[in-house]
Structure 1
Amino acid sequence: MGDKVIVEQHGAVLRIVLNQPEAMNAIGPEMASRFAGIAADAAADAAVRCVVVTGAGPHFMAGGDIRYFSELLALPAAERDAKLGALVSDVGRAVTSLRTMAKPVIGAVRGAAAGFGFSLMCACDVVIASDTVNCKLAYGQLGASPDGGGSYTLPRLLGVRRAMELALLDERIDAPRALELGLVSRVVADAELDAAALALAARLAAQPTAALGRTKQLFYGSFEKDLAGQIDAELQAFLAAAGSHDFSEAVTAFLGRRKPEFRGS
């Protein structure tokens, strides 16, 4: 069967590959549990300064494993709910780690991104899409509602009205439309996707990643604060940065007219 999630280390970049290409990387309990653990470990590992999430084969992720759902239909309600609850909780834990980790997360997305695959794409900080991307929420056609934080991230990306339209109509979105809507950051030829994602990740990993992490937290936290609260959060983040190695290195390098050497702390 092989490992459902592959981890590759590329210097300071951790590449997470969802690995069930024969099923379009549909997620079941084994993949979800491992993905959640890997994401949590990446968040805690200071040696990891950028994360790339992608799928093996021609697709990112087609959502939940329908065959697994079918197996659950015959179970008593309590047992079914416990198993589904564990799966949905694990994908939620994975997204929470990616969204809150103090380092950039890049989604490298090709082919189908549906269901949890769509939610996962929306949870990434930057998304590089292949020109083969074809995404949709897809929960409605399953008689279900979003998981993996999709109902949280999508309205924040697009606004409630547009997010509601996508969820209720459940229409397919190709790469140009995804770029127009702001669901993805940039689109590249499919053959260039993996190299482009790793190149961007290496570029980000060479930056003052602790500062990038604070910026990420400020942006996402801004939706929960008023202006005064956000300005105070900015103050605290700036003071934390001022005590860091990277701040000192940047100031010293600027005055010395040399390129700074950041270490992410």
Structure 2
Amino acid sequence: MTIPISSGTTTTTTTTTIASAISTTDTSVRQPNVLLNKRKGVAIIRLNRPHKYNALTKQMYDSVITSLTDAATDQSIKLALITGTGSYYSAGNDLNIYEKSFKHFDGHMNHTVDNLIEKFRQFVIAFIDFPKPLIAAVNGPAIGVAATTLALVDCAVASDTAYFLTPFSSMGLSAEGCSSYTFPQIMGQSMAGQMLYFNHKMSATEALQSGLVSRVIPSAQFDEYIESWIFADRTGIVNTCYPQSMRASKQLVRSAAIRRVLHEVNRSECLILRDRFNSDECLEAIEKFFGRNKQK
């Protein structure tokens, strides 16, 4: 049975395997851009816009927030997993949301930017405050906020086809998703600098070496690995890990004090992002982006 829980999100209690949840959708049939599938105590959140490389729209932000909130409050859910449909995990923000918001607010730049920044801030908060184990199955490239929020999940595993890119300076923007705090903590100052300042395209192997992901799996085996790791009868997480035990350990790792730091970092980053969105550099970068797209 399929039950809509928010605009653009669908939840289902079928026994769909991870493999079919990750596989490319038949785009001839319109489906929600975010799907929430509940299976054996696992909430599988799937970014489902493969024809746009799972680039995030405002509706998708809302849907992911709603899905995480639903998984957090559903007593039957032990943990959550987020992944993508098709060849990409997510290409990050769909820049068309900037143009659409601008039109929605009748050309008022401040209203446009404030609305986008607040939506973005709430999206990051949903990752910071999720109380249960949260896994990212990075089936392909992760760009922008899709890469930065990986540092807020509890465990990320990646396909060998994945890469990680935070092209903030090429867009005239600045670090977001708490990456100004989490990236140096995870990978050290030098590599974080390459990522956050210099648009370094990090390979899956580099992500493993830096600690951003815990494992890299050959793409041909990725679906099978995730399925077995989580659901195998005798060895899968859902059958070997008690949910309250996992949650208690997460409360120690992601303590209230650490969450307060992350919330403050998120707030500070969003304030700077607001200024960057209004900067000449950002406006020039967005104009170049739309100009290139119109020429295609």
TM-score range, shorter chain: 0.7 to 0.9
With over 3 angstroms needed to count, the CA separation of the structure-2 counterparts of 1:26 and 1:8, relative to structure 1, is same
Distance verdict in 2 for CA 1:86–1:136, change over 3 Å? same
2:170 matched residue in structure 1 = 141
Q: How far did residue 161 of structure 1 move?
A: 4.1
Q: CA deviation at 1:40?
A: 1.1
1:84 aligns with 2:113: no
Q: Quote the Cα distance in structure 2 between the aligned partners of 1:94 and 1:187.
A: 26
Q: Render the CA deviation track for 1:52-97: whole Å, top value 9, x for unaligned.
A: 1001110001110112223445621232123312431332233224
Which residue identity lines up with residue 78 of structure 2 in the other structure? R
**1:122-141 Cα deviation digits (max 9, x unpaired):** 22211111010111112222
Gapped regions of structure 1 (runs ≥ 5)? 226-265
Task: State the AA in 2 paired with 1:165.
Answer: Q
Give the distance between the partners of 1:92 and 1:224, measured in 2 at CA.
14
Q: Tell me the equivalent position of 1:4.
A: 33
**1:148 offset after TM fit, Å?**
2.7
The correspondence of residues 14-53 of structure 1 with structure 2, limited to 5 A, is 14-53=43-82
More deviation, 16-25/118-127: 118-127
After TM superposition, list the pairs within 5 Å mapping 1:59-208 onto structure 2: 59-72=88-101, 75-98=107-130, 101=131, 103-202=132-231, 203-206=236-239, 207-208=241-242
Overall identity of the aligned pairs, in %: 26
For residues 88 and 145 of structure 1, do their structure 2 counterparts lie closer, same or farther at Cα, with a shift above 3 Å needed?
same
Give the Å deviation of 1:224. Answer: 4.6
Q: Distance in 2 between matches of 1:188 and 1:224?
A: 31
Does structure 1 retain, via aligned residues, the 8 Å contact 2:49–2:85? yes
Paired residue for 2:248? 214
CA distance in 2, matches of 1:92, 1:39: 11
Structure 2: which amino acid aligns with 1:88? F
Partner Cα distance (1:115, 1:20) in 2: 16
Structure 1 position 214, deviation (Å): 1.6
Distance 1:214 1:136, change over 3 A: same
The verdict on how the C-alpha distance between 1:134 and 1:92 changes in structure 2, with shifts beyond 3 A counting, is same
- What residue identity is the alignment partner of 1:30? Q
1:135 partner SS? strand
Q: Are residues 224 and 111 of structure 1, via their aligned partners in 2, closer, same or farther at CA, if it must alter by over 3 Å?
A: closer
Query: Which consecutive residues of structure 2, in runs of 5 or more, have no partner in the other structure?
Result: 1-29, 260-296
- Normalised by the length of structure 1, the TM-score is 0.76
Q: Distance in 2 between matches of 1:55 and 1:214?
A: 28
Q: Distance in 2 between matches of 1:97 and 1:201?
A: 22
| CA displacement, residues 20-68 of structure 1 (integer Å, 9 cap, x when unaligned) | 1111111111000011011011111121112110011100011101122
Post-superposition offset of 1:158:
2.0
